[in-house]
């Protein structure tokens, strides 16, 4: 459907954690020379998080992965902020609908997110904007979401086999790998 409507975009969304310590699984033939991965640790004085979370989405029309890092973890309120950001970018391109495919994470299915999408779609219909049509993937079927493969390749590309990266280095490497601009982090709003 999205291909037959140029003002629609099909996108696959997901969240991912970028660990500063855990090394991805690599095969000897995955690099020019076999990597010698070491068990990494964090200094006791290092207050930075051990892992960074980010929301990402893969556009099928451009094959581009866009992402936003999160301060904290993925929760419903942050998911709404992420969707607001995605819709604003699409609206700037003149798009009218986002066909969003994602999994059944609790922060995707929450009452807050469902209500936000419903209200957002009403507003987009009244005043113009990007409407969101959510397509849930079946439970426990990550292989159906093409962005998952992008995460695996990204983790292999940003790995540092012999030292612990700073949180800033991880973020810079991830944004560089995907060709994304480094944006402010999405924040959890505690009420």
Number of H helices, E strands in the chain: 5, 6
Task: Answer yes or no: is pLDDT of 140 > 70.
Answer: yes
Residue 169 phi, psi (nearest 5): -65, -40
Task: Answer yes or no: is pLDDT of 108 > 70.
Answer: yes
Quick one: average pLDDT of 8-28? 80
Quick one: average pLDDT of 105-112? 90
Q: What is the pLDDT of residues 30-49, one digit of tens each?
A: 556 655 555 556 666 666 77
Closest CA to 138 of 180, 104, 187: 104
What is d(CA 6, CA 26) in angstroms, rounded to the nearest whole number? 39
Q: SS3 for 106? A: helix
What is d(CA 22, CA 118) in angstroms, rounded to the nearest whole number? 39
Q: What is the pLDDT of residues 66-104, one digit of tens each?
A: 999 999 888 999 999 999 999 999 999 999 999 999 998
- pLDDT score at 142: 79
User: Could you tell me the pTM of the whole model?
Assistant: 0.84
> Would you tell me which CATH number, out of the four given (3.90.1150.10, 3.40.190.10, 3.30.420.10, 3.20.20.70), belongs to the domain 8-19+51-187?
3.30.420.10
Pairing of strands 8-19, 97-102: parallel
Task: Answer yes or no: is pLDDT of 132 > 80.
Answer: yes
What is d(CA 28, CA 24) in angstroms, rounded to the nearest whole number? 13
Task: Answer yes or no: is pLDDT of 51 > 90.
Answer: no
CA distances from 69 to 13, 42, 115, 143, 187 (A): 14, 21, 24, 23, 9
What is d(CA 53, CA 185) in angstroms, rounded to the nearest whole number? 10
- Average pLDDT of the chain is 86
The percentage of residues in the chain with a pLDDT greater than 90, rounded to a whole number, is: 59
Task: Answer yes or no: is pLDDT of 113 > 90.
Answer: yes
- pLDDT score at 100: 95
């Amino acid at each position: 459907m999205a291909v037959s409507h140029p003002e629609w975009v099909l996108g696959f969304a997901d969240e991912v954690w970028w660990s500063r310590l855990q090394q991805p699984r690599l095969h000897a033939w995955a690099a020019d020379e076999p990597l010698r991965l070491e068990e990494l640790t964090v200094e006791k004085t290092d207050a930075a998080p051990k892992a960074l979370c980010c929301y990402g989405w893969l556009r099928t029309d451009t094959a581009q992965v866009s992402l936003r890092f999160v301060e904290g973890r993925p929760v419903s309120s942050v998911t709404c902020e992420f969707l607001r950001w995605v819709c604003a970018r699409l609206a700037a391109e003149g798009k009218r609908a986002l066909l969003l495919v994602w999994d059944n994470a609790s922060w995707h299915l929450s009452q807050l997110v469902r209500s936000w999408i419903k209200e957002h779609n009403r507003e987009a219909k009244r005043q113009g904007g990007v409407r969101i049509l959510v397509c849930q993937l079946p439970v426990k079927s990550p292989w159906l979401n093409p962005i998952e493969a992008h995460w695996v390749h990204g983790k292999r590309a940003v790995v540092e086999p012999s030292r612990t990266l700073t949180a800033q280095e991880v973020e810079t490497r991830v944004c560089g790998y995907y060709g994304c601009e480094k944006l402010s982090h999405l924040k959890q709003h505690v009420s």
